[in-house]
Amino acid sequence: MKRPRTKSEKQARLQRILDILDELYPNVTCALHHSNAWELLVATILSAQCTDERVNKVTPGLFRKYPTIRDFAAVKPEVLAQDIRSTGFFNNKAKSVVGAAKTLLRDFNGEIPRDIDKLLTVPGAARKTANVVLGTAFGIASGVVVDTHVTRISNRLDLTREDNAVKIERDLIDILPKEKWIAFSHQIIHFGRETCVARKPRCANCRMSELCYAEDKQA
């Protein structure tokens, strides 16, 4: 496809991308299973360098064993690490989860803060995690979640030319309507798993093909 040059051409192309995502994934939501904001925070911490599928296998038993924030705050990190071992980087993740539980109890009465600056003070809640929790649990558009799928596909679709998550998020915030911030990431993640996969994108079956001029586009 010929690259759009004018602002109106770029906006029209972006709108078409958003329309296709809405058609493909109209009711998409976070793939991590959870029943409340705390469980989502834990699941998101565990999802770092791990598949959502693996996390969803671990968390049901984990939340039965530790049903409340106080239970997580009371467990020793080295004990929790064994419960989450299969998610990888389990020692660091255990410290983050226990630290998050203690911080929430001490500073926020055991509640997940609905302000991103406050949430970022919680161990394990870096910006990506905070955006996931605020967007999915509370419907608060605090920013755009940038994971490996969003990084890869946003570059392939020329929505950014950055490889740093903070800069990518800034670029996406600049061009996306705020009402799309939450859904966009979930839609792109599903699109990245089903069609625009990392090694061999399925371009022949891609609804975005006419809008894409990625260097690794498959014939």
Residues marked active site are found at: 128, 147
Residue from 20, 17, 71, 21 nearest 42 by CA: 71
Tell me the fold of 37-138. Endonuclease III; domain 1 (1.10.340)
Q: Greater confidence, 87 or 200?
A: 87
- How confident is the model over 33-69, as pLDDT tens digits? 999 999 999 999 999 999 999 999 999 999 999 999 9
Kindly report the CATH class assigned to 7-28+144-211. mainly alpha
Residue 49 φ/ψ region, left for φ over 0, alpha for ψ in the -120 to 50 degree band, beta for the rest: left
In the chain, what are the domain boundaries? Answer: 7-28+144-211, 37-138
Are 94 and 81 in contact, with CB atoms under 8 Å apart?
yes
pTM value is 0.93
- In sequence order, the 6+-apart residues with CB closer than 8 A to the CB of 48 are 89, 93
